[in-house]
Amino acid sequence: MPKFMEGVVTVAQEGRFQLTDDHGVGHLFILGHLCGTEPGCLPALQRRQARIRVKYAAAPNMIAYVAHAISEAA
C-alpha cells in the first residue's frame, strides 16, 4: 500500500529535498528513478515554498524516504 505525505519544500539540493509537514517536522526525501520530477525542479519548489504531495516508500538502510511521485497539493 503506497504512503503519502503533504507539506512544504524547505530545502532542496540535487536529487534530495526536505519536506516540512503540518506539524513542523522535517522529512528527508530522495527522488526515485521513476519519480517523474527532475532534480532541477526542486529549487523552484523550494523558492515558492510550494505545498506538495509525495507518494513515497521507506529507503532501506537510510534515514530518508524514496519519493515515487510528486504533485502540487490542492
pLDDT digits (tens, 9 = 90+) for 5-61: 999 999 999 999 999 999 999 999 999 999 999 999 999 999 999 999 999 999 889
Domain layout of the chain by residue ranges:
1-28
Burial of 18 (0-12, 13-18, 19+ CB in 10 A): middle
- Predicted local distance difference test score (pLDDT) of residue 2: 78
Quote the CA–CA distance of 1 and 30 in Å, as a whole number.
19
Query: How sure is the predictor about 74, in pLDDT bands with cuts at 50, 70 and 90?
Result: confident
CB of 19 closer than 8 Å to CB of 54: yes
Decide if pLDDT at 66 tops 90. yes
